[in-house]
Amino acid sequence: MSIFLLLDSVGVHYIVASLVAFFGGMVISFLLQKFLTFSHRTMDGATQQFVLHLTLVCLNAVANTLIIYLLVSALDVPKIAGQVMTNIIIAIWSFFAYRYVVFAEKQTIQTHGG
């Protein structure tokens, strides 16, 4: 549900609307990553994957804050450039985290008869 719809049409408090929009976006992001980006076709392992996705989203929120602070305050990078750089860093490591942790293919152990 769009934050605009929640705010304007339904009259939900802006903080509640923001949380609903954030979590709605997180669910949509999870589903897009699972089914489109990494081509999983079933819901097998979805609960564990969603927990890992939620964890990554939370870690990225903290990392975003720390990296932008470091770039802008400590390294004197302009704010917009710092945010762009931060987004690129987080996008790159997130891809690898999704690929090799969240949506990693299960390894099957094959035995060879002798």
Q: Which pLDDT belongs to residue 46?
A: 85
Mean pLDDT in residue range 73-86:
93
Mean pLDDT in residue range 90-94:
93
3-state secondary structure of 32: helix
Name the band, by pLDDT with cuts 50, 70 and 90, for residue 11: confident
The share of the chain scoring above pLDDT 90, in percent, equals 43
Looking at mean pLDDT, say which of 3-17, 27-41, 53-67 comes out highest: 53-67
Residue 106 CA to residue 17 CA, distance in Å, equals 37
